[in-house]
Amino acid sequence: MKNIVVPLLGAVSIISTGTLAWLLATPPSVDPRAVKLETELQEARQTIAKLKADLARKPTETSPTATGTASTTPAQDPASTAANLPAPPNSGNLRQMLRTPEMRQVLENQQAAQIDLAYGKLFEILRLSPEDKENFRKLLTARQKMQTDLSMQLMEPGLTDQKRQEILAEAKHQSSVYEASIKEFLNEENDWKTFQEWDFTKPDRTVYDTLGRNLFAASSEPLSGSQEQELLKLMAEVRTSPSSIGGLNDQTGGDPSKITDQVIQQQIEQLETNHRIIAERAEGFLTPGQRETLKSYLAQLKTVSKSSMEMFRGINK
């Protein structure tokens, strides 16, 4: 029986600053295992569309111009296009939308659904009892929620460098708190190592479940279970390579105002380098046909990554 641990402190290490944008921009998945997440995403899109429409009307209702002329409609954000949603009137309103109770509830619902999608197989591997599974799910959901809370704090305009560093330091501290809680909950060294390996590939697994899995499943040569795990491990190793410039947080400290065209270009160039390395190393365990599918997947990943970065940058403009 696993030990039930109630974490006393909040957030874990801060998630990638693009994650919030990813939640809004993620295309729907048709994987049967993702039915619950698909429902949550659909509800989220409906709520987001309503919130955006409400916010779009506010400037006209509260601050009409003297001439009564209509305001110019802004260009559609690429990430919003990916989510099939109307673009927000401006990024200030987007920040306002993200702070609303409705939007926070949407994010929390999505996070809970994503835990099942991201860790469902792990629950089976660990052979958790129904009670342990529910307790572990709650622990992971709480961790995810607090990660998002810290990300949203970093999105607040006007943060001083000192305050930003305090948030990042708190995130690092809370990371160790949750790490200890999860290790104590699992209560077995082998289970802890299994979790660490699974958590290490979670960012890559989440994107793969959304974009890549269906591509390979629909191809003439789907990946075997071992090939899938090897690919995810490879992608995680390349992503965290010491030679990498890191993600947006590493370059900007979580400050959206520092996401310049140059930073985005550097991120895309790093992504292209990573994808080239992945494609080369994957030759050792993928067939020629599977490598073609991998090429298509990586191309989609590049497009969505760029859109997410641009969307996140727009929040602070």
pLDDT in tens, 25-76: 333 344 444 444 455 555 555 555 565 566 555 554 443 333 333 333 333 3
70 part of a folded domain: no
Query: Torsion angle of alpha carbons 27, 28, 29, 32, nearest 10°?
Result: 170
pLDDT for the residue 74 = 36
Q: Is 25:80 a contact under the CB 8 Å cutoff? A: yes
Q: Tell me which residue has tokens 């071992």.
A: 226
Listed as ranges, residues in the chain with pLDDT below 70 are: 1-99, 249, 254, 315-317
Note the pTM of the prediction, 2 decimals: 0.65
Distance set, CA 218 to CA 82, 183, 296 (Å): 21, 38, 12
69 part of a folded domain: no
Q: Which amino acid is at 107?
A: L
Between CA 72 and CA 313 the distance in angstroms is 21
Query: Torsion angle of alpha carbons 9, 202, 110, 165, nearest 10°?
Result: 40
53 part of a folded domain: yes
Q: Is 55:95 a contact under the CB 8 Å cutoff? A: no
Other CB atoms within a 10 A radius of the CB of residue 272 amount to 12
SS3 content of the chain, % helix, strand, coil (to 5): 75, 0, 25
248 part of a folded domain: yes
pLDDT for the residue 97 = 66
5 part of a folded domain: no
Between CA 196 and CA 31 the distance in angstroms is 25
65 part of a folded domain: no
pLDDT for the residue 145 = 85
The phi, psi pair for 255, rounded to 5°, reads -95, 110
215 part of a folded domain: yes
pLDDT for the residue 71 = 35
pLDDT for the residue 130 = 93
Q: Show Cβ contacts of residue 37 under 8 Å, excluding neighbours closer than 6 positions.
A: 29, 110, 113, 114, 116, 117
**Cα 40 to chain center, whole Å?**
15
- Structural domain for 208, as ranges: 19-60+75-315
Closest by Cα among 305, 83, 276 to 203: 305
Token code pair at residue 215: 């591509």
Total domains, the chain: 1
Token code pair at residue 272: 């292209």
100 part of a folded domain: yes
pLDDT for the residue 44 = 53
* Cβ-count burial 185-214 (b if 16+ within 10 Å, e if not): bbeeeebbeebeebbbbebbbbbbbbbbbb
